[in-house]
């Protein structure tokens, strides 16, 4: 029998979890985009992570950073079995340790706790995508989770804790670590230096704009040393906003809208075509 030492996270005191999330505030997450194109306010963090087995020491920093990157993109489409407060056959929890029977097709990956900002805590039915993100960055494909709500009167999730397993059989291959899809044959990824400026109130900063484009492409095209550059600018003119972008053929395109968000969305669409379009060559 394989034995993996662990502390069952159901004993984590609620007060400690609240303290870990309270007061940190919410930073804008311009990577996460709702189906209607608006910025998502959903955001969570790794409060605790411990990898099982050899080489597991010091894993929290690496996994926490990888999970944050995964939060900034759509949830990966991977097969993940999510068990709510239920252990799979062959896996037991006794005297503070996770035990895996020799004939059980599992190996332990790690234990975790994800915390949510109370100002936008999700409902229990809304956390599946975050669990898939965590599984992807830990190379797990089974998540045993226990949900702790804000209170008896408030059904929103305060934090979730549990263990991650990897199942080895033909029914469910180990989940791959989330990464961008490779470019299509004959279509190399374009790299460029971003020259972006938006002085109008409510617009994205250069960093936020760069990150938003990267998230939608599935990779970061920005290289400061690149000989190719992409020029984009947003200005406010009276009650309207105007964006200009230099196209690959040297021409410029102008976009207008009544809000900076509207113009920015249109600008991002044009930039994506320039960077990922079938005829992309030079940007400058």
Give the model confidence (pLDDT) of 1-48 as tens digits: 555 544 443 333 333 333 344 333 334 443 345 556 565 556 788 889
Question: pLDDT at position 208, please?
Answer: 87
* Residues forming CATH 3.30.160 domain(s) in the chain: 193-276
- Among 110, 111, 113, which Cα is nearest to 148's? 113
Q: Give CA angle at 205 (63, 37), nearest 5°.
A: 75
Instruction: Say if CB 139 and CB 78 are below 8 A apart.
Output: no
Q: Is residue 149 pLDDT above 90, yes or no? A: yes
For the stretch 177-233, pLDDT in tens is 444 455 555 556 778 889 999 888 778 888 888 888 888 877 788 888 888 888 999
Sequence-distant (≥ 6) Cβ neighbours of residue 217 within 8 angstroms: 180, 272, 275, 276
Angle between the N-to-C axes of helices 59-71 and 128-138, in degrees from 0 to 180, rounded to the nearest 10: 130
189 versus 85: which is more confidently predicted? Answer: 85
Task: Grade residue 176 by pLDDT with cuts at 50, 70 and 90.
Answer: very low
* Residue 85 · residue 145 · CB < 8 Å: yes
Question: In CATH, what number does 193-276 get?
Answer: 3.30.160
Distance of alpha carbon 205 from alpha carbon 213, whole angstroms: 12
Task: State the chain's mean pLDDT as an integer.
Answer: 76
User: What pLDDT is stored for residue 179 in this prediction?
Assistant: 44
């Amino acid at each position: 029998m394989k034995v993996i030492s662990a502390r069952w996270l159901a004993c984590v005191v609620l007060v400690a979890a609240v303290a870990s999330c309270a007061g940190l505030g919410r930073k804008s997450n311009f990577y996460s985009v709702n189906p209607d194109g608006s910025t998502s306010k959903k955001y969570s963090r790794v409060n605790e992570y411990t990898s099982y087995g050899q080489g597991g020491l010091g894993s929290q920093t690496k996994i926490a950073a990888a999970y944050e990157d995964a939060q900034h993109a759509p949830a990966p489409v991977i097969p993940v079995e999510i068990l709510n407060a239920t252990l799979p056959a062959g896996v037991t929890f006794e005297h503070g340790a996770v035990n895996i029977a020799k004939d059980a097709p599992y190996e332990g990956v790690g234990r975790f706790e994800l915390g949510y900002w109370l100002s936008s805590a999700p409902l229990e039915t809304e956390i599946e995508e975050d669990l898939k993100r965590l599984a992807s960055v830990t190379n797990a494909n089974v998540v045993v989770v226990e949900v702790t709500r804000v209170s008896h009167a408030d059904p929103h999730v305060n934090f979730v804790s549990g263990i991650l397993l990897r199942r080895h059989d033909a029914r469910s291959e180990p989940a791959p670590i989330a990464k961008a899809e490779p470019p299509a044959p004959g279509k190399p990824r374009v790299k460029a230096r971003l020259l972006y400026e938006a002085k109008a109130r409510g617009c994205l900063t250069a960093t936020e704009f760069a990150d938003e484009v990267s998230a939608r492409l599935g990779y970061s095209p920005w290289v400061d040393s690149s000989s190719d550059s992409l020029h984009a600018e947003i200005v406010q003119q009276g009650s309207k906003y105007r964006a200009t972008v230099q196209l690959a053929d040297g021409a410029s395109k102008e976009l207008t809208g009544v809000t900076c968000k509207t113009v920015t969305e249109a600008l991002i669409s044009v930039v994506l075509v320039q960077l990922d379009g079938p005829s992309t060559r030079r940007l400058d």
